[in-house]
């Protein structure tokens, strides 16, 4: 397999990032360079035969639109005071199209930090275009105006090697996404993507992508940093370590009575309560169910099963609407090393508390 070569100036942009870019750097590198480096450009005018959304829509692949958009300053989510409700266009879709689109985007990494409302804004702003076989969707070195999610067809991504020869680095067969790096970092495309067959793409314009994804990720990080700063167990972490942890958290919501974790199941991650109340219960060997305790905002649970590598000792249920910040097992082990000793010391305390509840 050919080695992917990224030009020197791009390496600098990819290697160093601060604030919100620190979060987006990791997830886009994982998606863009390994799951399919899919960046490519677009100064080449309109794709021959490309058909855009119904009725009036953005001038997709228009050189004039591209140059005006890319020439603008880098987007600063901290300075942007516009609410999400006013920051993006909407494009009508049938119920079937919306169902298909929801399925296509559910594993897109750059959308993982979005909550339900933010995700709805993304879906509303996306539109579909038909791409004929042989078209260059984006070209390496060009400016980027759109993020793409593959709806149908086969597309291949190519990167030029040190001799200027194009090398195929990934293939998208009816699924996948590409184009985010140029939008995230305000940099030229780092790959070319070609249509190998007739196909279709869901597109999200540059402004909507940056104002929804970047602003939402920035807001999420601020909320999570404040949440983590008030958790005693995490006081042993440096501010930078908490920032990295905040970037690894994912939002999850549960409604009244829903089970969050179940007793005796394998542990997949840890939870921090962002909003609402969580009730813990235990079922003994006779089948009797007992309510143990409740926690609210700032409380956390699920870490002990990860520390001890045992199954869940209790079940947890949502009381009313509950919003949680979730960290998976792999990230937990990688990022919470500084707190591991404290968590191990807490194991006996929690086991004693459980025994005390059961003896009542």
Q: Which residues sit in the known binding site for 3',5'-cyclic AMP?
A: 180, 189, 303, 312
Q: Which of 230, 260, 253, 257 is nearest to 242 (CA)?
A: 230
Asked if residues 80 and 218 have their Cβ atoms less than 8 Å apart, the reply is no
CA nearest neighbour of 177 among 217, 209, 215:
209
Residue given tokens 């897109």 in the structure block: 108
Contact assessment for residue 120 and residue 154, using Cβ atoms and an 8 Å cutoff: no
The CA distance from 28 to 59, in Å, is: 26
Judged by DSSP in three states, 255 sits in: coil
With 0-12 CB in 10 A as exposed, 13-18 as middle and 19+ as buried, what is 283?
Answer: middle
Residue with tokens 């994804």: 213
Count CB atoms within 10 A of the CB of residue 286. Answer: 5
What DSSP letter does each residue of 121-178 carry, written as one string?
HHHHH-EEEEE-TT-EEE-TTS---EEEEEEESEEEEEEE-TTS-EEEEEEEES--EE
Q: What are phi and psi of 8, to 5 degrees?
A: -50, -50
Strands 136-138, 289-295: pairing is unpaired
Give the angle 264-310-280 at the CA atoms, nearest 5°.
50
Binding site members: 180, 189, 303, 312
């Amino acid at each position: 397999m050919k080695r992917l070569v990224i030009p020197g100036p791009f390496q600098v942009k990819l290697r160093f990032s601060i604030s919100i870019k620190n979060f987006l750097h990791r997830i886009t590198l994982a998606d863009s360079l390994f799951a399919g480096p899919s960046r490519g450009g677009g100064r080449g005018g309109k794709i021959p035969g490309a058909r855009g959304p119904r009725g009036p829509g953005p001038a997709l692949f228009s050189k004039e639109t591209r140059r005006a958009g890319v020439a603008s300053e880098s987007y600063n989510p901290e300075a942007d005071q516009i609410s999400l409700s006013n920051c993006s266009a909407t494009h009508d879709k049938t119920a079937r199209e919306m169902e298909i689109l929801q399925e296509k985007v559910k594993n897109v990494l750059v959308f993982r930090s979005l909550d339900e409302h933010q995700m709805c804004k993304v879906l509303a702003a996306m539109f579909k275009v038909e791409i004929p076989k042989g078209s260059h969707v984006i070209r390496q070195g060009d400016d980027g105006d759109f993020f793409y999610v593959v709806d149908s067809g086969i597309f291949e991504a190519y990167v030029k090697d040190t001799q200027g020869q194009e090398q195929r680095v990934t293939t998208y067969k009816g699924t996948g996404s590409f184009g985010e790096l140029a939008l995230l970092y305000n940099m030229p495309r780092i790959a070319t993507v070609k249509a190998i067959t007739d196909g279709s793409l869901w597109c999200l314009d540059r402004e909507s992508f940056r104002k929804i994804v970047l602003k939402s990720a920035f807001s999420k990080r601020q909320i999570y940093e404040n949440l983590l700063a008030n958790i005693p167990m995490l006081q042993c972490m440096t501010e930078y370590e908490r920032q990295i942890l905040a970037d690894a958290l994912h939002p999850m919501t549960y409604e009244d009575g829903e089970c969050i974790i179940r007793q005796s199941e394998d542990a997949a991650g840890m939870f921090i309560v962002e909003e609402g109340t969580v009730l813990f219960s235990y079922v003994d060997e006779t089948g009797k169910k007992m309510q143990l305790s409740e926690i609210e905002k700032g409380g956390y649970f699920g870490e002990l099963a990860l520390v001890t590598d045992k199954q869940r000792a209790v079940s947890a249920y949502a009381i009313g609407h509950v919003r949680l910040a979730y960290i998976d097992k792999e990230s937990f082990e990688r990022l919470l090393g500084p707190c591991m000793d404290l968590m191990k010391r807490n194991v006996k305390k929690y086991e004693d508390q459980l025994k005390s509840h059961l003896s009542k």
